[in-house]
Structure 1
Amino acid sequence: MEIGQRIRELRAAQAMSQDDLAARVYVSRQTISSWENGKTYPDVQSLLQLSDIFDVTVDSLIKGDVDTMTETIDRDVQTMKRLSYVMTVFILLMVAALIWLSVQLSVWDWSLEQTVPTAVLALVLWGVAMFAEVWADRIKRDHDLITYQEILSFWHGEPVDRDTERGRRERLIPRWMRVIRTIGMALIAAAIGAFVGYWGASLAEMLLG
């Protein structure tokens, strides 16, 4: 993987730190480190910015890595799409399980012991959805995708524009705060699922009653 070595050499030649380069390409320092260590590759927009910053051609940057870069990025895009489908399907299944649980409790008046398998099923479905979310979040982190527009561009294989007001604002937020926000959104999703399940059971009770 020559591109990582090329970025490191060109950065050193201009006496730039990883933080300096990250600020000019609108990515995190960790992303620059991943590029230089061959863990991930720059996208098209980042390559154009790097070629401009270092005053070299894109071809001289990527050299023989173009096929590997394309395969890696395409694989990550496809993985993100599959994970998105998994999250959607399992969250819907979780909601269905919560509705079924509410029917068992409210309509059929089952005991808590009898509803344990359904509750466990709902929890497992939620866990699978959250596992897919964490995996997708790791891919987004590897490619430094913060905003919805950046994710959408990456999804469709388009250049990712990180130099936006929202992108700059989001990148100023510490990572630990973004993690807490993600956990909060997951808990809210679970609460919404429980709410839908409760009202679904109430509707079922009305129809059956």
Structure 2
Amino acid sequence: MNLSAQIKKYRARQGFSQEELAEKLYVSRQTISNWENERSYPDIHNLLLMSVLFNVSLDDLVKGDIEVMKNELEIAKLNKWTISMVTFMLLGVISIAPMMNWFGTKGLLVSFVLIVFSIYSTYKVENVKKKHDLKTYKEILAFQEGHQLTDDEKGEERKKNKYMKPIIFISSALIAGILTWIILSFFN
């Protein structure tokens, strides 16, 4: 939530019109409108007055922006590392046969490096998941949409997904093996 939305939210919660809030802050109604429409921002004096009028801390009034920005950065980080992980893994697996065909066993070094990058990306994804206690796909989706599941919902999801990690690992290994076999067959 940005500062403009915070001002609008707290003003509405207190039941103030823009005109009433303007009178209490000794500014024009247009100034309040500008704040709420992100055309300008209040100075520190007005922020302090609003925190008193709205009966919220200055942190709560302003920090809404900071918390949302932090979450958006974490979501972007999760997305970036997920894309990196998948891309490097696919490139690593797909490159095995062509690299061996063109450069012999030394060509495997290229595939190895790509797979190492994929593993590093996986590590980064797991760090974000661990930091936000994300264990199921539904929890990850909720996080990416900007909300969290309740503890009951988390418990239900985690019971359902008890065996997902081994299944995903085995499935990934099978897919990688099949892709490698197909590519090796194609180049031989």
SS at structure 2 position matched to 1:160 = coil
Q: TM-score, normalised by structure 1?
A: 0.51
1:92 aligned to 76, 86, 90, which one? 90
Long gaps (5+) in structure 1: 1-58, 109-113
What residue in structure 2 maps to residue 70 of structure 1? 68
Q: Is the 8 A contact 1:97 1:122 kept in 2?
A: yes
Q: Distance in 1 between matches of 2:93 and 2:83?
A: 16
Q: Is the 8 A contact 2:96 2:111 kept in 1?
A: yes
Q: Residues 164, 100 of structure 1: CA spacing in aligned structure 2 closer, same or farther, 3 A cutoff?
A: farther
| Structure 1 residue 171, shift from structure 2 partner | 6.0
Q: Is the 8 A contact 1:93 1:125 kept in 2?
A: yes
| Structure 1 residue 190, shift from structure 2 partner | 4.9
2:151 aligned to 163, 166, 186, which one? 163
Q: Which protein is bigger by CA-based radius of gyration?
A: 2
Q: Distance in 2 between matches of 1:85 and 1:187?
A: 21
What residue in structure 2 maps to residue 137 of structure 1? 126
2:77 aligned to 79, 91, 94, which one? 79
| Structure 1 residue 192, shift from structure 2 partner | 3.2
- Percent identical residues: 22
- State the AA in 2 paired with 1:98: I
Q: Is the 8 A contact 1:95 1:196 kept in 2?
A: yes
Q: Distance in 2 between matches of 1:76 and 1:170?
A: 22
Q: Is the 8 A contact 1:94 1:126 kept in 2?
A: yes
Q: Alignment length, in residue pairs?
A: 131
SS at structure 1 position matched to 2:91 = helix
Of structures 1 and 2, the one with the larger relative CO (CA 8 A, separation 6+) is 1
Q: Is the 8 A contact 2:98 2:187 kept in 1?
A: no
- State the AA in 2 paired with 1:79: K
1:193 aligned to 173, 176, 187, which one? 176
Q: Is the 8 A contact 1:98 1:197 kept in 2?
A: yes
What residue in structure 1 maps to residue 141 of structure 2? 152
- State the AA in 2 paired with 1:94: G
Provide the alpha-carbon RMSD of the alignment: 3.4
- State the AA in 1 paired with 2:172: A
What residue in structure 1 maps to residue 116 of structure 2? 127
Q: Is the 8 A contact 1:98 1:194 kept in 2?
A: no
SS at structure 2 position matched to 1:146 = coil
- State the AA in 2 paired with 1:198: W
- How big is each residue's C-alpha offset from its partner over 1:100-120, in whole Å with a ceiling of 9 and x where there is no partner? 246x2xxx8xxxxx5233211
| Structure 1 residue 204, shift from structure 2 partner | 3.9
Q: TM-score, normalised by structure 2?
A: 0.56
Q: Is the 8 A contact 1:99 1:196 kept in 2?
A: no
Long gaps (5+) in structure 2: 1-55
SS at structure 1 position matched to 2:124 = helix
Q: Residues 129, 96 of structure 1: CA spacing in aligned structure 2 closer, same or farther, 3 A cutoff?
A: same
